[in-house]
Amino acid sequence: TPVLFVVILLILGGNTCFPLMLRALINTKLRMARSAHRKHVIRLLLKYPRTCYSHLFPDYATRWLLIVTPSLVMLQILVIGVADLWVSPANDAGDAEVMAGLSPGERALALVFQSVSTRTAGFSVLNLELLSAPSAMVMMICMWISVSPVTVLIRSTTRHSVAKGGAELYGNNDDRREKDRGAVKGQFGKFMNDHSGVLIVLLVSILMAEEYSSTKGSARDACFVRVLFEFCSSYGTVGLSMSGAAWSTSGTWTSVSKLLLMLVMMLGRLRGLPETIDPSVGLGSWTWLQKTRHRLRIGPGSDDDQPDDSPRRSVSMPSSMGGRLMRAFSN
């Protein structure tokens, strides 16, 4: 039991909840800081997060992620709990097979662990071969979504105008929020529909290859859900499988189906790549920073920019806003 708790924290902290934990850590650092200069630097980091780091989002984007991530976990817990723990006993079908032999506490922990690991880690403490159809469907949806909320926020909050005079950096927060909100919808739709035409062709091809390689009617009847589950798991680069053996369902497929599934996995890895070089890690901001260094001041005071006639502190300009903040931390 303690091991599963630790693994749950590692899964969340290393994947979908990393931006949440990073912002919480920075806020804690701000409260613990004693130096006025350091507090000013941290406030600047929280005010312009996407100009400094790719996985550090504005407060409104972080709140959206805080809602989406637990909601997907709770959806799985609800559906699996109802379909595999309540429906079977309620219909006098005996104990739920997928949870057989587990105590109530172990069932609750297994349910939470399975729901947390579905989208990214691919670990399983249940025999997924015994999953009900509704539970398998919800897990397929979550595997297809995968890490898309984080990827969508990275793309939609990118500050491309940093190299075009600083309009995004010094723009109005409300304007940026409305722009990011529209970008989130567009990026999410694009992420979910990416490669859709190719994926349909690949799925049909795999189904045809498996159909004509099977001679047993019972195997053909149970083929579609297992193939679709394997397909969604591959595209989400998760690794779960509805198999009761020590290997995945695709281990018994034909060579053609395996090659097609490898292509699906490659497409799943490619869909999370950035569309452009993120300004927070790009080197092209050096020229812009040199031109606008009189506006980029770090020093004790309020978290807003000082008046234009205020004394300026001379700072050597690194190649990016993030590097500049790190340099300020060391001063």
176-191 residue pLDDT tens: 666 666 667 677 777 7
Reported as a single tens digit per residue, the pLDDT across 247-258 is 888 888 889 999
- pLDDT the model gives residue 261: 93
For residues 243 and 132, is the Cβ–Cβ distance under 8 A? no
Give the least confident one: 17-31, 70-84, 91-105, 309-323: 309-323
- As a whole number, mean pLDDT of residues 301-308 equals 43
Tell me: pLDDT of 107 over 80: yes
Structure tokens at 53: 């780091």
The 3-state secondary structure of 156-210, one letter per residue: HCCCHHHHCCCHHHHCCHHHHHHHHHHHHHHHHHHHHHCCHHHHHHHHHHHHHHH
Of 128, 97, 126, which is closest to residue 113 (Cα–Cα)?
A: 126
Q: Is the pLDDT of residue 141 over 60?
A: yes
| pLDDT above 80 for 31 | yes
Mean pLDDT score across all residues of the chain: 76
Task: Pick the range with the lowest mean pLDDT from 120-124, 261-265, 327-331.
Answer: 327-331
Asked if the model's pLDDT at residue 40 lies above 70, the reply is yes
On whether the CB atoms of residues 33 and 141 are closer than 8 A, the answer is no
What percent of the chain is modeled with pLDDT above 70? Answer: 69
Residue 279 CA to residue 189 CA, distance in Å, equals 23
Could you give the CA distance from residue 159 to residue 169 in angstroms, rounded to a whole number? 7
Residue 206 pLDDT greater than 70, yes or no: yes
Window from 85-94, 231-240, 244-253 with minimum mean pLDDT: 85-94
What does the longest C-alpha to C-alpha distance in the chain come to?
A: 84
Amino acid 27: pLDDT: 93
- Name the one residue in this structure whose structure tokens are 């001379």: 314
How far apart, in whole angstroms, are the C-alpha atoms of residue 234 and residue 271?
12
